[in-house]
Amino acid sequence: VHVLYSTRRYFSIPELSSESVWMKDRQRVEEILQSMSKDGSNTLQVISDFDLTLTRFSYNGKRCPTCHNILEGSNAISNEARQTLDDLLHTYYPIEIDISRPVEEKLPLMVEWWTKAHELLVQQRIKKDELAEAVRQSEARLREGYECFFDCLHEHAIPLLIFSAGIGDILEEVIRQANVFHPNVKVISNYMDFDESGILRAFKGELIHIYNKREGALLNTGHFEELRSRPNVLLMGDSLGDLDMADGVQDMKNILKIGFLNDKLKERKQSYMDSYDVVLVGDASLEVPNAVIRFLT
Ligand code: C5P
């Protein structure tokens, strides 16, 4: 206990010493932070997942909705469709978080989930002007500390890329309603395609699902080219697929990966600690990312 305490004391960021922050290699985290700090905030870019990373996993013991769930819970779709989407969630979500199955086996099943859900949403002839109300009525919540997170990045002109396998139109509405959709925010996600009367007819472009963020990143070279002078990356995610979000970053120097471990802590602890530099457990707030940003600015 004494040894643990003394190593903890040496951290430049006191928030990293909390019990709910797990790190496999504290020394390495400290080195990355020092190197990034020396380079200054004009070399930093932030890349974050959205659902259950920037938003909460649960509130008062109840699961919080993802972008897809916001639509599913709204009046924009029929009761029958809601039931089908709920059945899909119960079939595929356990597969998404099952660490005993290799990614190669899960990947086609994830494509199947997203495809079925998007087809069903299109059949529902959702109207563009129903989305804002669906978000207002939903229980989606950005994590505590979100104002500071978005506002600090904006204030210091640090680009924030939100890279989401959710639904871009819904995600934008969530951050717009929270008054944090600042000009430094760019979104890569699945966007809805509406016909001239504002009815959903398809989803645009290539499907982004939980395990193809690497391809998504490589399709957006223009964005990363613009940010070439920012080789230091703060990455935030809640799934192991999110680790690929920075694969398009050019001339990367340092990357600090912060992972939110929301569910199945015991089973997934080791794999998260092996993959993320810093693991935040128990529906954490944005206190740690905010402290890191403060340290780097
Ligand atoms: O923003 P992020 O990349 O995390 O969005 C993907 C999330 O959306 C996944 O965690 C998945 O559980 C969820 N999802 C959903 N309903 C679908 C497809 C995905 O809730 N039909």
- 25, 39, 49, 151: which is the annotated catalytic residue? 49
pLDDT of residue 6: 46
Ligand 1 centroid to residue 175 C-alpha, Å:
17
Q: For 146-157, write each residue's pLDDT tens digit.
A: 999 999 999 999
Alpha-carbon span 40 to 44, nearest angstrom: 7
Ligand 1 centroid to residue 110 C-alpha, Å:
10
Ligand 1 atom closest to the Cα of residue 237 is 4
Protein residue with least CA distance to atom 15, ligand 1? 68
pLDDT band at 9 (very low <50, low <70, confident <90, very high): low
Supply angle C-alpha 236, 239, 243, rounded to 5. Answer: 55
CB 164 within 8 A of CB 51: yes
Pairing of strands 200-203, 192-194: antiparallel
Ligand 1 centroid to residue 167 C-alpha, Å:
9
pLDDT of residue 12: 87
- pLDDT value at 272 more than 70: yes
- pLDDT value at 117 more than 80: yes
- pLDDT value at 5 more than 70: no
Q: For 31-65, write each residue's pLDDT tens digit.
A: 999 999 999 999 999 999 999 999 999 998 899 99
Protein residue with least CA distance to atom 14, ligand 1? 68
Q: Which residue has the higher pLDDT, 243 or 220?
A: 243
CB 235 within 8 A of CB 257: yes
pLDDT band at 10 (very low <50, low <70, confident <90, very high): low
- 39, 51, 129, 242: which is the annotated catalytic residue? 51
Distance between first and last Cα of the chain:
33
pLDDT band at 11 (very low <50, low <70, confident <90, very high): confident
Ligand 1 centroid to residue 166 C-alpha, Å:
5
- Sheet strands (E) in the chain: 21-22, 44-48, 58-59, 62-63, 160-167, 185-190, 192-194, 200-203, 232-237, 254-261, 278-281
- pLDDT value at 194 more than 60: yes
- pLDDT value at 8 more than 60: no
Alpha-carbon span 91 to 78, nearest angstrom: 20
> Is 129 among the residues known to form the active site?
no
- pLDDT value at 257 more than 60: yes
Protein residue with least CA distance to atom 4, ligand 1? 51
pLDDT of residue 1: 45
> Is 195 among the residues known to form the active site?
no
Which residues have C-beta within 8 Å of that of residue 183, sequence separation ≥ 6?
154
Average pLDDT for 220-239: 94
- pLDDT value at 102 more than 70: yes
Pairing of strands 232-237, 44-48: parallel
pLDDT band at 99 (very low <50, low <70, confident <90, very high): confident
Average pLDDT for 119-132: 96
Average pLDDT for 14-30: 94
Q: Mean of the per-residue pLDDT values for the chain? A: 94
Which residue ranges have their beta carbon within 6 Å of ligand 1?
49-52, 66, 68-69, 89, 93, 96, 113-114, 117, 164-166, 210
Which of 49, 52, 114, 235 for mutating ligand 1's site (highest number of atoms within 8 Å of CB)?
52
Written as six digits, the tokens of 235 are 């990455």
Average pLDDT for 84-112: 93
Q: What is the pTM of this model?
A: 0.94
- pLDDT value at 218 more than 90: no
Average pLDDT for 98-105: 91
Average pLDDT for 82-91: 95
Q: For 72-84, write each residue's pLDDT tens digit.
A: 999 999 999 999 9
ipTM of the complex: 0.95
Average pLDDT for 259-263: 95
